[in-house]
């Protein structure tokens, strides 16, 4: 039997999707599974995008330019200008989702066995993208106890070697919801310039920043024109994950011209996704404000509800629509599996993303879960009731003495 590649063997399973078979089996047995594991919003897609698809009058769904339709890129320039990000349409390459933008960036900027630094916990697919491009991820750990703020920049500097080529951040952060301050970003900027690195910033959640927190893009930082790569996607802000339309944005012409060769190799980004995406950029203020207000209300509810459950701890995320919570359990992955296979409350159960999958270091995140508050508040209420009842009955719940120790550690 022929052997598969080493790369394929090393490619990790998605911690976000790995429990899907258990969820499917639970549904077959008649349970209602409330999905908190994945960032798939239930909010209606922008009507502008839907109308553009319905009204599409093309006779042929043809290849677009490998860099993406010029009209979409020009429309994005207008969008970014409203967010105080000044770029030209030539700085933008349209990609098949933000995922392809990251993969092409890694292929363009790093050689096999080069290293990229990333604060953890981080979006689990970063590890998959790195594995598929033979890049090594080097993690610097942030902590739930302090709200996942940026680790001391000295911790990043300790990890820099002759193989280090870049840093990747997600702002606002998936999975933690942390929004990086100007001070944090300037510390990263200074490190990037000191060691002549690339900085990738995944900013797909910029529309969802709460509590009057300031959002700063890396494109707004001085001195970064040759170092900064902005990763974006239309999926989240217009609730259109199926469009698969993203962007790689940089003012570094040589980097951009090199990345374009990879874009040409995959021919073009999705034609229909670009048509709908361009229309979505004109979504009304009423639509965008309504989406924001809904996520804010969900955030406020879930933070309150989680911290009312004995032994559960979370801080208040400032952005995106995710929250990391620490549970009084021996192993959050075992708990998540048990909730699907052995538990139901009034016919309902929940699907969670185990926290360990967002870390590289063994043992980290073992008691944590990521929750995506992408279902409406009525369903969130049922989900939190399920979680509270499940924790009461879970065989691996921590003894009260250990819970006290954990909570004391959290409050420091």
408 or 398, which is more confident?
Answer: 398
Q: From CA 116, how far away is CA 131, in angstroms rounded?
A: 12
Kindly state the average pLDDT of the residues 101-129: 97
Q: What is the pLDDT confidence band of residue 372, given thresholds at 50, 70 and 90?
A: very high
What is the reported pTM? Answer: 0.94
Predicted local distance difference test score (pLDDT) of residue 12: 82
Residues composing the chain? 412
267 pLDDT exceeds 50? yes
Q: What is the pLDDT of residues 169-216, one digit of tens each?
A: 999 999 999 999 999 999 999 999 999 999 999 999 999 999 999 999
Percent of the chain scoring above 70 in pLDDT:
97
CA nearest neighbour of 174 among 213, 220, 119: 119
Kindly state the average pLDDT of the residues 246-270: 98
Q: From CA 206, how far away is CA 76, in angstroms rounded?
A: 14
Kindly state the average pLDDT of the residues 258-276: 97
Q: What angle do CA 97, 100, 106 make, to 5 degrees?
A: 145
Q: What is the pLDDT of residues 11-48, one digit of tens each?
A: 887 777 779 999 999 999 999 999 999 999 999 999 99
Half-sphere exposure of 393 (CA within 13 A, CB side): 13
402 pLDDT exceeds 70? no
- 202 forms beta bridges with 170, 231
Predicted local distance difference test score (pLDDT) of residue 14: 77
234 pLDDT exceeds 90? yes
Radius of gyration, CA atoms only, the chain = 21
Predicted local distance difference test score (pLDDT) of residue 406: 53
Q: Domain 60-280: give its CATH architecture.
A: 3-Layer(aba) Sandwich (3.40)
Both tokens assigned to 115:
């290293």
Q: From CA 84, how far away is CA 78, in angstroms rounded?
A: 10
407 pLDDT exceeds 70? no
Give burial (CB, 10 Å; 0-12/13-18/19+) of 300. Answer: middle
CA nearest neighbour of 181 among 229, 228, 216, 221: 216
166 pLDDT exceeds 80? yes
Q: Are 227 and 248 in contact (CB under 8 A)?
A: no
Per DSSP, helices labelled H in 224-284 are: 253-265, 271-280
Kindly state the average pLDDT of the residues 233-238: 95
Kindly state the average pLDDT of the residues 66-95: 98
Predicted local distance difference test score (pLDDT) of residue 362: 80
Predicted local distance difference test score (pLDDT) of residue 400: 65
**Helices 271-280 and 47-54, packing angle to 10 deg:** 140
Q: In the chain, which residues fall in CATH 3.40.640.10?
A: 60-280
* Cis amide linkage into residue 121, ω under 30° from 0: yes
Both tokens assigned to 35:
């999905």
Lowest mean pLDDT segment, chosen from 117-126, 149-158, 269-278, 403-412: 403-412
Predicted local distance difference test score (pLDDT) of residue 405: 47
123 pLDDT exceeds 70? yes
Predicted local distance difference test score (pLDDT) of residue 401: 57
CATH number for the domain running over 6-44+286-411: 3.90.1150.10
Q: In the chain, which residues fall in CATH 3.90.1150.10?
A: 6-44+286-411
Q: What is the pLDDT confidence band of residue 403, given thresholds at 50, 70 and 90?
A: low
Mean pLDDT of the chain: 95
Predicted local distance difference test score (pLDDT) of residue 111: 97
Both tokens assigned to 55:
């009204």
Kindly state the average pLDDT of the residues 60-71: 97
């Amino acid at each position: 039997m022929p052997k598969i590649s080493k790369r394929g063997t090393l490619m990790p399973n998605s911690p976000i999707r790995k429990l899907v078979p258990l969820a499917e089996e639970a549904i077959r047995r008649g349970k209602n599974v409330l999905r908190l594991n994945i960032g798939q919003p239930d909010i209606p897609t922008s009507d502008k995008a839907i109308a553009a698809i319905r009204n599409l009058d093309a006779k042929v769904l043809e290849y677009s330019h490998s860099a993406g339709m010029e009209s979409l890129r020009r429309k994005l320039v207008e969008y970014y200008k409203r967010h105080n990000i000044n770029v030209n349409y030539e700085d933008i390459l349209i990609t098949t989702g933000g995922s392809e933008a990251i993969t092409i960036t890694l292929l363009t900027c790093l050689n096999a066995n080069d290293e990229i630094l990333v604060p953890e916990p981080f979006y689990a697919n970063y590890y998959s993208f790195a594995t598929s491009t033979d890049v090594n991820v080097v993690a610097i750990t942030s902590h739930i106890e302090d709200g996942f703020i940026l680790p001391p920049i000295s911790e990043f500097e300790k990890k820099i070697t002759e193989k280090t080529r870049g840093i990747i951040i997600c702002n606002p952060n998936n999975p933690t919801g942390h929004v990086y301050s100007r001070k944090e970003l300037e510390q990263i900027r200074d490190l990037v310039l000191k060691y002549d690195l690339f900085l990738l910033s995944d900013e797909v959640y910029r529309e969802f920043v709460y509590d009057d927190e300031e959002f700063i893009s890396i494109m707004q930082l001085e001195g970064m024109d040759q170092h900064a790569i902005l990763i974006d996607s239309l999926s989240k802000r217009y609730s259109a994950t199926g469009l698969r339309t993203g962007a790689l944005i940089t003012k570094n012409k040589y980097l951009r011209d090199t990345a374009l060769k990879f874009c040409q190799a995959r021919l073009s980004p999705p034609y229909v996704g670009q048509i709908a995406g361009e229309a979505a950029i004109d979504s009304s203020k009423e639509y965008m404000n309504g989406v924001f207000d809904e996520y804010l209300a969900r955030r406020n509810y879930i933070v309150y509800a989680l911290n009312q459950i004995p032994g559960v701890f979370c801080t208040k995320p400032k952005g995106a629509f995710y929250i990391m919570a620490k549970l009084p359990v021996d192993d959050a992955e075992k708990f998540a599996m048990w909730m699907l296979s052995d538990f139901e409350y009034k016919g309902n159960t929940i699907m969670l993303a185990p926290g360990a999958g967002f870390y590289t270091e063994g043992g980290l995140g073992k008691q944590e879960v990521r929750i995506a508050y992408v279902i409406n508040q009525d369903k969130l209420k049922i989900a939190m009731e399920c979680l509270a009842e499940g924790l009461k009955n879970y065989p691996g719940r921590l003894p009260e003495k250990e819970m006290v120790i954990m909570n004391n550690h959290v409050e420091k």
